[in-house]
Copies of this chain bind each other. A is one copy, B any other.
Amino acid sequence: MMHLHEVLNLMFWDSRTGAPQKGLAMRAEVIGTISAKKFAMSVSPEMKDYLEALTAEGSEAYLSPITREVVASVKKEFDRNAKIPQAEFKAYTIVKANAGKAWEAAKSASDFAMFQPHLEQLVSYNKRFSEYWSDQGHPYDALLDVHDPGMTVEQLDDVFAKLKARLIPLLSRVKQEKTVADTSFLFKRFPIAVQKELHHFLLQELGYDFQGGRLDETVHPFAIPINRNDVRITTRFVEDDFKSGLFGTIHECGHAFYELNIAEELIGTPLCCGASAGIHESQSLFWEKLIGRSQAFWHRYYPQLAAHNKEQFTGIEKTAFYRAIHAVQPSFIRIEADELTYPLHVILRYELEKALFADELKVADLPGAWREKMAEYLGITPPDDRAGILQDMHWSAGMFGHFPSYALGYLYAAQFRHAMIRELGPIDPLVENGDFAPIRAWLARNIHIHGKRKTPHELLLDVTGEPLNPDHLINYLEKKYQAIYQLDSFE
Contacts and interface: CB of A to CB of B under 8 A. Distances in A.
A28 to B, nearest CB: 11
Interface string A213-233: 110000000000011111010
A308 to B, nearest CB: 19
A29 to B, nearest CB: 7
Interface of A: 3, 6-7, 10-11, 14, 18-27, 29-30, 33-34, 209-214, 226-230, 232, 267
A230 B22 contact: yes
A480 to B, nearest CB: 36
Contacts of A3: 29-30, 33-34
B22 A229 contact: yes
B7 A214 contact: no
Given A6-B27, A18-B214, 10 more contacts: A10-B11, A19-B230, A20-B214, A20-B230, A22-B211, A22-B212, A22-B230, A23-B212, A23-B227, A25-B229
B22 A34 contact: no
B7 A228 contact: no
Nearest to A18: B214
A11 B20 contact: no
Contacts of A23: 212, 226-230
Contacts of A230: 19-20, 22-24, 26-27
Given A14-B14, A26-B267, A226 B6 contact: no
Contacts of A229: 20, 22-23, 25-26
A274 B11 CA distance: 25
A26 B227 contact: yes
Contact of A228 (B11, B26, B209): B26
A350 to B, nearest CB: 37
